[in-house]
Amino acid sequence: MTEEKIKISEAKGRPMLRWVGKKPLDYIKSFPAQLIEIFDATGKTKNIEKPAFENLKDNWQNLLFHGDNKEAMGYLLANGFREKIDLIYIDPPFDSGANYIRKVVLRGSKDKNKISGEEYSLGEQIQYYDIWSNDNYLQFMYERLLLLKELLSETGHIFLQADDKRGHYLKILLDEVFGAENYVNDVIWKKGREGGGGTDVNPPLPTEYQNIYIYAKSKSQRKWNPPRGPYKESTLSNIEKDEKGWYYTRGRMGRQPREWEIKEGVAKKTYVSNDPKESREEVIKRLTSSDAKCVLLGDVWDNELIKNSSETDYPTEKPKDLLKLIIAAATDKEDIILDCFIGSGTTAAVAQELERRWIGCDVNTGAIQTTCKRLQETILEQYKKDKDDIKQKKLYGEAKSNKKNYSFAHYKINDYDLQLLRTEAMELAIQHIGIQRIKTDRFFEGTYGKNLVKIIDFNHPLTLFDLQLIQDELKKRPEENRNVTIVCLGKELVVDYWVEEYNKKHPVNKLNVIELRTDKKYGKFFIYKPVRAKIEVKRKENKVIIKLKDFISPSIIERLNNSEQLIKVKIPDFRSMIDVVLVDTDYNGKIFNIVYSDIPEKKTDFIKGSYELDIPKKETTIAIKIIDMLGEEVLITEKI
């Protein structure tokens, strides 16, 4: 794999925070991007192997990257996107001391917390860890803010959302990276009440808000469409009519006079209607409706302005109304928006609806799958509506050329196939053994009884090198007298002998190894087995008939049977385990072009399981990708 070093400029402001391990990001490595799949609602697939800005500026395709956003941004910088992003919105991990999870439920289930009859819950799937030391967190965010500054255009903004636990630190980091002189606003989003009460003796006050910090790349050059909202009814209670029958309020009401008000010589009053036929009630109803754009919004956005809504089960999903406000205020049509913590895909979905170009990134497989599925639905709905509108307008000779983009390409940066093992398998092992986490230790993951615990990366067996790293760490802690439990998945043959000899020489800090596949004391630990499917594929002239005959997800079966049930769970319809079915009718062996997607509208609906699609006359390869409810995939191909 080739890589390239990209130089990063210094922060604009003076250093304000210090932490252990703070260092500037002088260079970033750029790794190649591997094209995984393409979705294009028009069927005019654009195979852009290398998504460089020069290749895309006149032939745009939205981009979704799976990988560490630091590496994704390194790729973008190396491929012409420096100062090309018009808006950055990020909702990063808040260092909250919690793991973010999503509820995972079989299709057909109506009760997420119940396992009875045909209603099965798969429990909670780890999305990503939000547990790290404060120093690690600050360095993590510092590096990413430096990269985001490089990508942001001179007229652009960054919106960073944060909670009350780390917001003050993040604002100081923004001052340092972007310059305090480029601070624009601190918006308070009143999202609803959380916490408080409970069983605590002295519980904290419930939290009702999050901060959204707004910074410009250059405050004097920033692009800005001031966001406006409706009047409050109380504000319009004193409207009066003038001699022309026009309604107005007293004073300027916080907005600049319109051109017609200046021309008519009425600029010292705020006119809310210049139609004598409009009644007082009609004026008030029009100006207080939720979609009215009348008064400049302040820096407190409450639930009258932003309705809490969700389209996915993703734990940190933000309401679309929030992103609509942000995107409309800071961009115009065709501008490029970046969200490098894409999560449930709300930023991309709203950008698509508002005819902006978008780039998303996430390291988590569940986030990428949720975003892929959601954007397919968004784009298909948009494309169908636009086609119907254009068809209707053609009847009256009003149709105009449509330049909207109805596609996105999914790329992988570096190799993150084993991300699930790094998060979910580790969490399952911790629960399986009964390990207590330590959030403040940068090396050891937790404690088990009186022992420290070191969990070895499940991507490889326990090696002598791992043991040497543990020994080196203990030497740095001369006062540490606890023994160490090592948890691993597989181990080299020489490990047992090395540990035995080490323990003879060290009466303190003795090592004990738990190998999860063979250790009888801790019982069976689930060993991953891939999903399997049985599919029938037949050609009928220029059609292909696809029938899904059977499907099994060992991970789902294991998860259900590990639940607190007295009897083994039976699944009467295998389709309940399937979330999405995707089809490519001319697969080239490398890039999966999504020609057809079966995404049930509701969680209680099943996939169809039977499909008839158009195919080329020549011999072709049919590829079917099936994604189960845990996000695991299987790809089946057949030549016909």
Which pair of structure tokens corresponds to residue 555? 């991970």
- Higher confidence at residue 96 or residue 331? 331
Q: Which two tokens stand for residue 591?
A: 């890039």
Q: Can you give the pLDDT at residue 567?
A: 54
Lowest mean pLDDT of 16-30, 56-70, 218-232, 400-414, name the range: 400-414
Q: How large is the average pLDDT for residues 382-395?
A: 78
435 Ramachandran zone, left/alpha/beta (phi>0; psi -120 to 50): beta
DSSP state of 352: H
Res 486 pLDDT > 80: yes
CB 343 within 8 A of CB 349: no
Which residues, in sequence order, are bridge partners of residue 98? Answer: 130
Q: What is the mean pLDDT of residues 474-488?
A: 94
359 with 73: CB under 8 angstroms?
no
For the segment 416-428, the average pLDDT, to the nearest whole number, is 56
Output DSSP code: residue 346.
H
Q: Most confidently modeled of 4-18, 174-188, 240-254?
A: 174-188
Q: If pLDDT is split at 50, 70 and 90, which confidence band does 113 have?
A: very low
Cut 0.85: pTM above it: no
Q: Is the pLDDT of residue 460 over 90?
A: no
The model's pLDDT over 177-209, given as tens digits with 9 standing for 90+, comes to 999 999 999 999 998 887 665 566 777 888 889
- Tell me the mean pLDDT in the region 106-124: 55
Q: What secondary structure does DSSP assign to 624-639, as a single string?
A: EEEEETTS-EEEEEEE
Q: Within 10 A of 599 (CB to CB), how many other CB atoms are there?
A: 17
Mean of pLDDT values over 555-576: 72
Within 8 A by CB and 6+ apart from 373, the residues are 579, 580, 599
Terminal CA-CA length for the chain = 34
Q: What is the pLDDT of residue 524?
A: 59
| pLDDT at 569 exceeding the cut of 70 | no
Asked whether the beta carbons of 447 and 435 are under 8 A apart, the reply is yes
Give the pLDDT confidence score for residue 132 in this predicted structure: 57
pLDDT score, position 518: 77
Q: Decide if 545 contacts 624 (C-beta within 8 A).
A: no
State the amino acid at position 475 in one-letter form.
Answer: K
**Residue 417: pLDDT band by 50, 70, 90 thresholds?**
very low
CA angle 140, 328, 75 (to 5 degrees): 35
pLDDT more than 70, % of the chain: 85
Of the pLDDT bands very low, low, confident and very high (cuts 50, 70, 90), residue 557 is confident
Decide: residue 427, CB within 10 A, 0-12 exposed, 13-18 middle, 19+ buried: middle
Question: What pLDDT score was predicted for residue 12?
Answer: 86
Q: Which two tokens stand for residue 616?
A: 């080329």
Q: Are 71 and 413 in contact (CB under 8 A)?
A: yes
Residue 575 has pLDDT above 90, yes or no: yes
pLDDT at 285 > cutoff 70 = yes
User: Which amino acid type is present at position 466?
Assistant: D
Q: Ranked by mean pLDDT, which of 10-19, 103-112, 266-275, 463-472 comes out on top?
A: 463-472
Q: Is the confidence at residue 1, as pLDDT, over 50?
A: no
Model confidence band, residue 438 (pLDDT cutoffs 50, 70, 90): confident
Average pLDDT rounded to a whole number, residues 85-98: 81
Return the amino acid letter for 581: V
Query: What is the residue-averaged pLDDT of the chain?
Result: 85
Q: At what angle do helices 69-78 and 134-151 cross, to 10 degrees?
A: 20
Across the range 208-212, mean pLDDT stands at 93
Eight-state DSSP code of residue 24: -
Instruction: Classify residue 352 as exposed, middle or buried by CB count within 10 Å of its CB (0-12, 13-18, 19+).
Output: buried
Measuring CA to CA, how many Å separate 498 from each of 255, 299, 470, 482, 505?
Answer: 76, 62, 13, 19, 11
Which of 223-237, 260-274, 314-328 shows the lowest per-residue confidence on average (mean pLDDT)? 260-274
At position 176, the amino acid (one-letter code) is E
What mean pLDDT comes out for the span 615-626? Answer: 94
190 or 561: which leads in pLDDT: 190
pLDDT confidence band for 117 (50 / 70 / 90): very low
What is the percentage of the chain residues whose pLDDT exceeds 90?
Answer: 47
State the average pLDDT over residues 329-335.
Answer: 97
Asked if the model's pLDDT at residue 437 lies above 50, the reply is yes
Q: Is the pLDDT of residue 416 over 50?
A: no
How many CB atoms lie under 10 A from the CB of residue 359?
28
Would you mind telling me the total number of residues written for the chain in this entry? 640
φ/ψ of residue 555, rounded to 5:
-65, -40
Task: Specify the higher pLDDT residue, 170 or 29.
Answer: 170
Mean pLDDT of the 274-290 span:
88
Sheet holding 633-639, edge to edge: 596-598, 578-584, 621-628, 633-639
Q: Give pLDDT, residue 270.
A: 80
Name every residue whose Cβ is closer than 8 Å to that of residue 577 and which is 6 or more positions away in sequence.
106, 107, 551, 552, 553, 556, 571, 628, 629
